[in-house]
Structure 1
Amino acid sequence: MSDKVQTSTQQVPLGSGSIITSLGLGRIKPFPAMVALTLNYRSNWNNGKTWWTSDRKLADLMGMSHRYVRDTLEELTGWVTRIKQGVKGSIYQLTHHLCEPHNVPSDKHGNPLKFAVPRGEDAPFEKMFAGEITWKACLIWILLKVHSDFKTGKTKPISMETLAMWCGFNKKTVCDMIKELEAAELLERVSAPHEKSVFQLYPKPAEKRPVYRPKKRRQKNTYQDMRTDEQHCYSFNEKYRCNLNTAAIEVRERHGRGKWHPLKDRERHLVPKVIMEAFDNMLDEAREIRWHLRKALGLDGSDTAHPGADTAQEGLNDAQAEFLSSLKLEL
């Protein structure tokens, strides 16, 4: 019995729209699925971008021909997209769940559904890269991992027929790959011969699992958070400001320093779209404030500012009127 324990892990998408589920449903063939999983192993989970990887490098890692790998990549349209190409190979953008954003399965924390496979020394992928096991054996190990206890690494009872149906191989191939995994010390059969197979996977999960700590999401600033004074509102980078009375935009010569100069009409397209939208929203709010102020002071044609009149409605007291009048907005 091995005492190997995983020291590091790599996240693998799971659930509706994932490679694993599509393989189990027969929507994707075994080798394309393994190519996608290998690229996922060589990627950054957060942004889905792979490391520099050439077709020949990928073929060498998986023990297959260059042409076969190249043709297979064309079958992964939607899953794998080449976004950069150079002398070192290509960088691919991976799609973890090929479905509409609102259909992406999530865990109890609200994150996209996934599970972890070992990485580093003695991991199945590393043994495949070293030529100790084939890609078929590595794929079967991953499928067994999905149907195992993530705390102990022990699989649920499973028959070879069911496993063959999941991975798209015949029963003999599955049995041969199980023997290959046993020889590589990646699993051990712990069930009786006449029972459904139960395997202990290696390396085992760490006994002390990491504690989930939700990320502190940075609060997005809105136009209401912009700095304002008696007449202007300022962009967050302090390079532009908008006059709330005239809607004129001014620009500074240098960020945070220098004199303000009127922005010419032909230069308005240089202002970032986000800043222009924030100014427009602030101007709309200022116009609404003016309208309420005019109405409260009776400057809109009504007589609300003179409670003594026969047609007067309940108006403001002196303190409220003084407060509204103190606002430095031109009516």
Structure 2
Amino acid sequence: MIMASWTRTIGTILGVGLFSLHPSIVVAQWLPEARNAPTFPRNAPPPAPPRSQPQNERKGDRDFRVTALQQDYTGDLWVGTWMGLTRINPNTGAIVARTSLPDYTLSSLTSDRSGRIWGGSYRGLVRVDPRSNELTAYSFRLPSNRILSLLIDNRGYLWAGTDRGIALISPDRGFLMTTLQDLPGVSANALTLDSEGQLWVGTLEGLVRINTASAYPIGRMANLPGGIVQALATSPNETIWVGTIAGLLEIDPLQRRIIRSIPEFAGRSVTSIRFAQNGRVWVGTENGLYHLDAQTGKIIGEIPDLPSSRILSLSPDTGNKLWVGTSEGLAWISQTSGLVRPHLAFIRNPPNNY
């Protein structure tokens, strides 16, 4: 249960006046892939045999980083951390269930069309059924067991991005359908879909567009400011926002060009991007959380008093709150009053006035 004594209001921040920004134009290089790509076979191979439990990689002090947040079909929020997976009621903050994940440090979460929660860890894939909290661990022959990103495409298939390529999985049958190990840029740090249903992958060398019917690259954007892409999000007007280690960009995925670079984020490491239902965008960085007007790119405000300024994950419009995962725990912000509060179950040192 979250106690209400330690609160801060950011109403003044959310209401500050807007100031003019002058987006800079950055030229990126679009490199089409000339490969003739066959479609993947309909008859997928059987799943690999179960894996043995790996040795524990978490030693010493407890790690409070909250790396992934995912709302399920019931409205509950799943919180992925380096200590396991927890299901909470986002309206009250009450813990609904804890799922034990021995030796798994979660890096990403997503929900499939059947409502099951998929978790990507540094040791492979896990799946949890919210109806029973039953856990299933998978040992596919992935390009790497170090999973960095997950996404369900428009057909309901699961894409898993690893540090050595991507994999396509049937979540209903539990089958590995195909892999792409020669991914340009190597590491699939972030995933999103464009308006045509094609997959965009943020890598160590920019962006790669993947044909979801063939799982082969159909082009890439190199020479992005910052180079390494860490976060992706598709906006309500179907542009793609790109967070790199040194900036924030908006691209037109169909024209394959950069629309603008947000000057206020030049030189900043952008780690998370999420759009709210009101069309505004939340941008997490290595040094702070910001609220932006998506149409103008103007910063509306910076959010204070979080457990850490290093933002790892975001879940807006969840229990009428924005939930924020940081390197030192979990917090939430009321989207009506602007109150900022930590969740006591996920922070290292609760304030003394609790």
Q: TM-score surpassing 0.5?
A: no
User: What interval of TM-score do these two structures reach, taking the shorter chain for normalisation?
Assistant: under 0.3
Relative to total residues, which structure has the larger helix share, 1 or 2?
1
What TM-score, normalized by structure 2, do the two folds share?
0.21
**Structure of higher RCO (CA pairs closer than 8 Å, 6+ residues apart):** 2
Larger radius of gyration: 1
